[in-house]
Chain A
């Protein structure tokens, strides 16, 4: 597999990436390439570039409507049900662990009382723990209903220097609405206007994306989701 100087074969890695995207490899070879994609970022980029080059041929896959019962079979496998009820984002155990962890950390760094604002809080409180698999960020959000103010704190992960973290509210099937940028790892307060405050309730999703410095240039999230969670009433 070595290339002589006069031979103009591409570097081996590039060729393997192309073979992988074309799909000509045997199963064991293919699986070893997949392990490499998962661990080797520069190799993964070669694969992505070949994929983009070949994407043009996707137009040749003619659409064929699948049988109508297929979606119900998929839902049954994923959710065990075909109803429209949304599945909870977190298992209860994971959620309460996160909340307990958040409370511990907040107490430890000394602003737990202010953050949780227990003295003026009504009996019920809205709280969300946000994270994502593979993400360095863990965050918690607490909503003060009297002051219509959402407080967000990063429990893990740093504010990036060259990008901004933007907080989004997603109510039901609505498009995500930006609540603003996370300005401090310790505590950022987001005042909500009446209409947004009405949308913040149990089941609403909060998410944080990595955006260009200063936030998303348009009104939609453009970057990777680094943390997300569902608002719970406690």
Chain B
């Protein structure tokens, strides 16, 4: 479905149109379920989260028209945000942190086949200009929901060092993205 089509569905959902809600669910739920699975890494939690997310979408749809963003990005942001809340609310135990250190890092070079739009290329071009470990920290945070603690454990650096790393990485990214 085109972005315009999805925008129109969201607008109609904000008017409490249940047919539009059904159509929006059919055309976007696979993407949002993918987000939940990736971030939560747990199928049961992902299924619960997906339900919460569509309840939120139904209730928040009237705010979409005000947001200046593409419809699918808006939906993904709602899903990511919800999943990250769930992750952060989990009690961090030392075993989680040990585990985090052992999880494979996301590769620095994502599959090119999945990157089509030029907007996507720009963020990856700019990530490519960062040191590889730092680029993977940024991607790990965005795609896997890693917290500062997770990142510090995985990269075996103190928390404050990780903050400084990320801060510098974001500054470089910003310069590149806005160049």
Q: Which residues of A contact B (CB under 8 A)?
A: 8-10, 14-15, 18-19, 21-27, 30, 48, 51-67, 70-71, 73-74, 77-79, 84-87, 89, 132-134, 170, 172-173, 175-176, 205, 207, 209, 220-221, 223-225, 228, 230
Contact = CB atoms under 8 A, between A and B. Distances in A.
B123 A133 contact: no
Contacts of A225: 11, 14-15, 62, 65
Given A175-B8, A224-B65, A77 B51 contact: yes
A100 B76 CA distance: 41
A170 B143 CA distance: 38
A70 B177 CA distance: 39
Contacts of A172: 19
A178 to B, nearest CB: 13
Interface string B10-23: 01101111111010
Interface in B133-170: 138-139, 141-143, 145-149, 151, 166-168, 170
A70 B143 contact: no
B31 to A, nearest CB: 5
B67 interface: yes
B19 A9 contact: no
A59 B70 CA distance: 13
28 contacts: A8-B171, A10-B170, A21-B142, A22-B142, A24-B141, A54-B142, A55-B73, A55-B119, A56-B117, A56-B119, A56-B120, A56-B124, A57-B123, A60-B111, A63-B30, A64-B33, A64-B37, A74-B50, A74-B55, A77-B55, A79-B18, A84-B22, A87-B18, A89-B15, A133-B62, A173-B20, A205-B15, A230-B16
B37 A86 contact: no
Given A22-B142, A23-B141, 9 more contacts: A23-B142, A25-B88, A48-B69, A52-B69, A57-B142, A59-B110, A60-B114, A89-B16, A225-B14
A66 B47 contact: yes
Given A9-B167, A18-B170, A66 B29 contact: yes
